[in-house]
Chains A and B, each alone.
Chain A
């Protein structure tokens, strides 16, 4: 397996634009996580899916953020409209929520909103 695949790797956009980040989890994994990392706030859990269902979205900052998981092999995180304070590295991770629960991370998407 190629691991967790995120796209794009880098995104530069203007304030007010819509941004969509994509994630392909490892085949067979049933849990998917979206994280945001900044120097100030560290690594924040935004939302957690289990079997394609959002279980915990308490970390989603505000209504401008939305996440979907239409099937077991794809998830998106959308920001609309984007703001400069959304600039961060966004990570997607997946795991099998059994005995192991080891999470595998993608390489991240570095988002810059100007």
Chain B
């Protein structure tokens, strides 16, 4: 099992700007998942990218994966105040099946 490390820890932007968050991990993966957590709520799955994929889009979300650098990035375009939340990555190795989360990136989008 392994844990992703999100960077930066906190990010503050204006509405309409793009937000980029990064994730690094240590060992090989089957896939990498990104989740969002609104204050006081459970995590919500946003997007999954498989190890043989390099980029994936879902609405205003764009995820990239570089397995050679063991890193991923999540880009939120044209951010909205409603995007204010903490974002977590979860590298999934598959061998044990457990999901371990890092400390997350706390995104604040100011109207």
Instruction: Give residues in A with beta carbon < 8 Å to B.
Output: 4, 31, 33, 35, 42-43, 45, 48, 50, 55-56, 89, 91, 93, 95, 97, 100-108
Contact = CB atoms under 8 A, between A and B. Distances in A.
Contact of B96 (A4, A48, A95, A104): A48
A91 B41 CA distance: 9
A95 B45 CA distance: 11
Q: By DSSP majority rule, is chain B's interface helix, strand, loop, or mixed? A: loop
B64 to A, nearest CB: 19
A56 B92 CA distance: 15
Given A45-B1, A48-B96, A101-B48, 16 more contacts: A35-B101, A42-B101, A45-B98, A45-B101, A56-B96, A93-B42, A97-B97, A101-B31, A101-B94, A102-B33, A102-B45, A103-B43, A103-B45, A103-B90, A107-B41, A108-B41
B88 interface: yes
A89 B86 CA distance: 15
Contact of B98 (A48, A91, A107): A48
B101 A100 contact: no
A101 B97 contact: yes
Interface in B77-99: 88, 90, 92, 94, 96-99
